[in-house]
Amino acid sequence: MLLTEPELNWLDDKVNKSDLLGQVFTPGNVAELMVSMALDSKPKTILDPCFGEGVFLKVINRKIKDASIKNIGIELDPDLYKGVRMELPSFNLYNGDFFDFNNEVDCIIMNPPYIRQELLSMEMPKFLNKGEILNRLPLINTNISPRSNLYIYFFIKSWALLKNQGEIVAIVPNTWMTAEYGQTFKDFLLSNFWIKSIIQFNKDVFPNADVDSCIIHLQKDIRSIEKHSNMISINQAISKKELEYINQLIYNGDKKLSVNKVMNKSLHLEKNWFNFFKKKTLFDLENKMVTLDQVAYLKRGTTTNYNDFFIKNNFRLVEKYPNYFMDIICSPKDIEGYTTRSLLRKNYLLSTLEKKEQLPLELNEYIERYEGEVLKDTKPKTLYNKIIKKPNQWFNIKNLKSAPIIFSYIVRDRKKFILNEANLIARDNFYEISPKEQVDKLILFAILNSRITALFLEDTGRSHGKGLLKIQKYELEKLKIANPDNIIEQDLDRLAKLGDSLAKSVEQNALKYISKIDRILLPYVSTKLNVEDLEELLRIKLDSRLNKKSGHLKLVSE
pLDDT tens digit sequence for 329-343: 999 989 989 999 988
Number of neighbouring beta carbons within 10 Å of residue 118: 8
Contact 484, 288 (CB under 8 A): no
Measuring CA to CA, which residue among 126, 125, 127, 192 is closest to residue 161? Answer: 192
pLDDT tens digits, residue range 534-550? 888 888 888 877 775 43
Rounded Cα–Cα distance for residues 378 and 426 (Å): 27
Q: What is the pLDDT, as a whole number, of residue 121?
A: 61
Rounded Cα–Cα distance for residues 338 and 503 (Å): 5
Rounded Cα–Cα distance for residues 343 and 337 (Å): 9
Rounded Cα–Cα distance for residues 431 and 4 (Å): 79
Average confidence score pLDDT of the chain: 83
Measuring CA to CA, which residue among 24, 27, 57, 53 is closest to residue 39? Answer: 57
Q: What is the 3-state secondary structure (H, E, C) of 48-72?
A: ECCCCCCHHHHHHHHHCCCCCCEEE
DSSP 327: E
Q: What is the pLDDT, as a whole number, of residue 162?
A: 96
Rounded Cα–Cα distance for residues 117 and 268 (Å): 25
Rounded Cα–Cα distance for residues 481 and 291 (Å): 6
Contact 49, 127 (CB under 8 A): no
Contact 221, 193 (CB under 8 A): yes
Residue 33: partners with Cβ closer than 8 Å, 6 or more residues away: 215, 243, 244, 245, 246
| Cα torsion 87, 90, 95, 101: sign | negative
What residues pair up with 45 in beta bridges, in sequence order?
70
Q: What is the pLDDT, as a whole number, of residue 222?
A: 76
Let me know if 248 is exposed, middle or buried by CB neighbors in 10 A (0-12, 13-18, 19+): exposed
Range 339-375 burial, b when 16+ CB lie within 10 A, else e: bbebbeebbbbbbbeeebeebeeebeebbeebbeebe
Task: Flag residues of the chain having pLDDT under 50.
Answer: 15, 237, 241-242, 244-245, 247, 249, 251-256, 280, 549-558
Q: What is the pLDDT, as a whole number, of residue 467?
A: 74
Residue 110, phi-psi category: left (phi > 0), alpha (psi -120 to 50), beta (remainder): beta
DSSP 302: B
- The C-alpha torsion from 199 through 203 and 208 to 214, rounded to 10°, is 10
Helices 451-460 and 510-525 meet at what angle, rounded to 10? 80
Rounded Cα–Cα distance for residues 276 and 528 (Å): 10
Contact 349, 310 (CB under 8 A): yes
State the pTM of this model: 0.52
| Cα torsion 247, 252, 254, 259: sign | positive
Rounded Cα–Cα distance for residues 193 and 165 (Å): 9
Q: What is the pLDDT, as a whole number, of residue 556?
A: 41
